Amino acid sequence: MTENTLLIELGTEELPPKALKKLSDSFARELINGLMEAELITDVALAKPFASPRRLALSVPNVIAAQPNQIIERRGPAVTAAFKDDATPTPAATGFAKSCGVEVHDLQRLKTDKGEWLSYSIEEHGKTLIELIQGILEQAIKRLPIPKRMRWGAGEAEFVRPVKWLIVMHGNDVVPATALGISSSNTSRGHRFHSDGDITITSADHYEEQLLKEGHVIADFNKRQHLIKEQVVEAAASVAGKIEDDQALLDEVTGLVEYPSPIVGGYNESFLDVPQECLISSMRDHQKYFHVVDSNKKLMPYFITLSNIESKNPAQVKSGNEKVLRARLSDAQFFWETDQKHTLESRINRLANVLFHAKLGSLFDRTVRIERLAGELAEKMGADNTISKRGARLAKADLVSNMVGEFDELQGIMGHYYADREGEDALVGECIEQHYWPKFAGDELPVSREAQAVALADKIDSFVGLFGAGEVPTGDKDPYALRRAALSILRILIEREHDFSLPELIAQSAQVYADTQGFEISPETQSNIVAFIRGRLTAFYQAQSIATNTINAVMACEPDSPLDFEHRVKAVHAFNSKVEAADLAAANKRISNILKKQEIEVSLQVEAAALVEEAEKALFTAIKSIEADCVTLFETGDYQQGLAKLAGLRTPVDNFFEHVMVMSDNKVEKANRLALLKRMQGLFLRVADIALLG
Same domain for 374 and 507, yes or no, is: yes
Inter-CA distances, 425 with 81, 284, 337, Å: 95, 31, 22
Give the pLDDT confidence score for residue 180 in this predicted structure: 94
Q: Does pLDDT of 1 surpass 70? A: no
* Residue 483, domain member (yes or no): yes
C-alpha torsion angle, residues 155, 161, 163, 164 (rounded to 10): 110
CA 322 to chain centre: 39
pLDDT in tens, 320-341: 999 999 999 999 999 999 999 9
Mode of pairing for the β-strands spanning 48-52 and 55-64: antiparallel
Instruction: Assess contact for 263 and 318: CB atoms under 8 A.
Output: yes
Give residues with Cβ within 8 angstroms of 536, minimum separation 6: 483, 486, 487, 490
Q: What is the pLDDT of residue 42?
A: 80
Does position 652 have pLDDT exceeding 90, yes or no?
A: yes
Q: Please report, rounded to a whole number, the percentage of residues in the chain having pLDDT higher than 70.
A: 100
**Residue 61 maps to a domain:** yes
Computed over its alpha carbons, how large is the radius of gyration of the chain?
35
Statement to judge: residues 117 and 132 lie in one domain? no
Domain boundary among 306, 324, 339: 339
Q: Contact, 232 vs 283, CB < 8 A?
A: no
Nearest CA to 13 out of 145, 165, 182 is that of 165
pLDDT tens per residue, range 202-225: 999 999 999 999 999 999 999 999
With residue 4 as reference, give the H or E element that holds it. Answer: strand 3-12
Statement: residue 627 has pLDDT above 80: yes
Instruction: Transcribe 569-600 into DSSP letters.
Output: HHHHHHHHTSTTHHHHHHHHHHHHHHHHT-SS
Q: In this predicted model, what pLDDT tens digit does every residue of 352-382 receive, in sequence order?
A: 999 999 999 999 999 999 999 999 999 999 9
Confirm if 644 and 576 have CB atoms less than 8 A apart: no
Q: Is the domain of 353 the same as that of 496?
A: yes
**Using one digit for the tens of pLDDT, what is the confidence trace for 558-569?**
999 999 999 999
In this structure, how many other beta carbons lie within 10 angstroms of the beta carbon of residue 669? 20
Q: How many domains does the chain have?
A: 5
pLDDT of residue 504: 97
In a domain, 521, yes or no: yes
Residues 106 and 187 in one domain: no
Residue 397 resides in a domain: yes
Q: Which phi-psi region, left, alpha or beta, contains residue 310 (left: φ > 0; alpha: ψ -120 to 50)?
A: beta
Name the domain boundary from 123, 144, 161.
Answer: 123
Instruction: Identify whether residues 183 and 225 lie together within a single domain.
Output: no
Output the pLDDT for position 55. 97
Residues 320 and 423 reside in one and the same domain: no
Q: What is the pLDDT of residue 643?
A: 93
Shared domain for 15 and 159, answered yes or no, is yes
Per-residue pLDDT, averaged over 392-421, amounts to 96
**Listed residue (52, 2, 7, 1) closest to 31, CA to CA:** 7
Let me know whether 30 and 151 are in one domain: yes
Residue 158 to residues 29, 50, 56, 143, 161: CA-CA distances in angstroms? 21, 22, 16, 13, 8
Residue 418 CB-half CA count within 13 A: 33
103-146: per-residue pLDDT in tens?
888 888 888 887 888 888 887 788 899 999 999 999 999 999 99
Both 687 and 631 in one domain: the answer is yes
pLDDT in tens, 251-269: 999 999 999 999 999 999 9
d(CA 146, CA 160): 6
80-91 average pLDDT score: 85
Share of the chain above pLDDT 90, in %: 77
Q: Are 331 and 406 in contact (CB under 8 A)?
A: yes
375 and 246 in a common domain: no
Q: Give the domain extent around 98.
A: 74-123
Q: Is the peptide bond before 438 cis (omega within 30 degrees of 0)?
A: yes
For 270, which DSSP code? G
Written as one letter, the residue type at 371 is E
Q: What secondary structure, in 3-state letters, does 148-204 show?
A: CCEECCCCCCEECCCEEEEEEEECCEECCCEECCEECECEEECCCCCCCCEEECCCH
pLDDT band at 460 (very low <50, low <70, confident <90, very high): very high
Q: Are residues 418 and 520 in the same domain?
A: yes
Residue 82 lies in a domain: yes
Q: Give φ, ψ of 176 to 5 degrees.
A: -65, 130
Contact 303, 290 (CB under 8 A): yes
Q: Assess contact for 78 and 111: CB atoms under 8 A.
A: no
Residues 196 and 250 in one domain: no
Picking from 30-44, 129-143, 285-299, 587-601, which range would have the lowest pLDDT averaged per residue? 587-601
* 552 part of a folded domain: no
* 427 pLDDT higher than 90: yes
Q: What is the pLDDT of residues 465-477, one digit of tens each?
A: 999 999 999 887 8
Does the pLDDT of residue 349 top 70, yes or no? yes
Q: How many angstroms separate the CA atoms of 374 and 380, rounded?
A: 10
CA atoms of 241 and 291, how far apart (whole Å): 10
pLDDT of res. 350: 97
Of 432, 406, 408, whose CA–CA distance to 418 is shortest? Answer: 432
For residue 156, being part of any structural domain is answered with yes
Residues in contact with 370: Cβ distance below 8 Å, sequence separation at least 6, in sequence order: 392, 395, 396, 454, 457, 458, 461
574 assigned to some structural domain = no
Q: d(Cα 388, Cα 463) in Å, to the nearest integer?
A: 20
Which helix or strand (DSSP H or E) is residue 620 part of? helix 614-635
- Give the chain's mean pLDDT: 93
